[in-house]
Amino acid sequence: MADSHGRVAVYLDFDNIVMSWYDRVHGRNSYARDRQRIVAGDGDPEITERLAAAMIDVGAIIDYAATFGTLVLTRAYADWSSPVNAVYRSQLVARAVDLVQLFPAAAYAKNGADIRLAVDTVEDMFRLDDLTHVVIVAGDSDYVPLAQRCKRLGRFVVGIGVAGSTAKSLAAACDQFHAYDALPGIPAPAVTEKPETARSRSRKKTVDPGADLLQRALRLESDREGEAWQHASAVKSLIKRLDPSFSEKAYGFRSFSEFVKAHADVAEVDESGHIVLVRLAGEKT
């Protein structure tokens, strides 16, 4: 839902995105295992190399948020005295990001970013009634009530999180969700996965969430319109409403048409006219 006239507020749970991307690059729970060495900030060569390999591209996030309209405000929440966050300060300030300091007191740190970010967001929506879009950069399910409140107050909610570390409930609560991994300019991490068992490989072969989404959307849209052939753009829009995290690029396709063609057992494509049409495979006109 890109809108050149939109007015956008961006909120980054910075600790969340940094930790999640570190785990994405180096493997599940890597940040927790390395936390003490990271916090020490004593120039450990191995940790320095691992942090460098998992650097966040703040510009890519802000550029994506800007596609929805004018950035009215951008805030990032973290303990900026921590070495792992401090290296980003100049990059963030250069992009006019307001750095909100969270102090690492034991009683405050656990949900500090969640609470402060949520309070500020709701306050901003009432203070700035011309805000049209709210972009939440996080992956924690604690943000589900915030996303729902923003939608109830009439804002279009965009979520950005790291693939594999974002709660499905948060993605579902947003109007649109995009994986940080899939943002323009972000290279895919060279993640070393654990060997799969024969059972897990078999399960993956029999479950295709993309095909299921496509089939559901086509059936719903054809029932609503009373026609077998549907505009591809309308079907994609419905899929995005069914699953805000959907992206054909995440499935390895450059376009939605390519995604549909790859599921010939589910859908047919007609590109003979000016408008691309799709229908359920075997459906009569």
**pLDDT attached to residue 26:** 95
Do both 135 and 238 map to the same domain?
Answer: no
**pLDDT attached to residue 120:** 96
* pLDDT top residue among 27 and 189: 27
Do both 171 and 35 map to the same domain?
Answer: yes
Report yes or no on 112 lying in a domain.
Answer: yes
Reported as a single tens digit per residue, the pLDDT across 79-138 is: 998 888 999 999 999 999 999 998 865 434 455 788 999 999 999 999 999 999 999 999
Report yes or no on 187 lying in a domain.
Answer: no
Using the predicted structure, report yes or no on whether residue 8 has a pLDDT greater than 60: yes
Domain count, the chain: 2
Q: Are 95 and 89 in contact (CB under 8 A)?
A: no
SS3 content of the chain, % helix, strand, coil (to 5): 50, 15, 35
List the CATH number of the domain containing 275.
3.30.420.610
Range of the domain at 26: 7-182
Give the dihedral of Cα atoms 7, 138, 90, 63; nearest 10 deg.
Answer: -40
Half-sphere exposure of 191 (CA within 13 A, CB side): 19
**Beta pairing partners, 194:** none
**pLDDT attached to residue 226:** 85
Using the predicted structure, report yes or no on whether residue 181 has a pLDDT greater than 50: yes
What is the pTM (predicted TM-score) of this model?
0.76
Do both 175 and 132 map to the same domain?
Answer: yes
Report yes or no on 188 lying in a domain.
Answer: no
Do both 72 and 119 map to the same domain?
Answer: yes
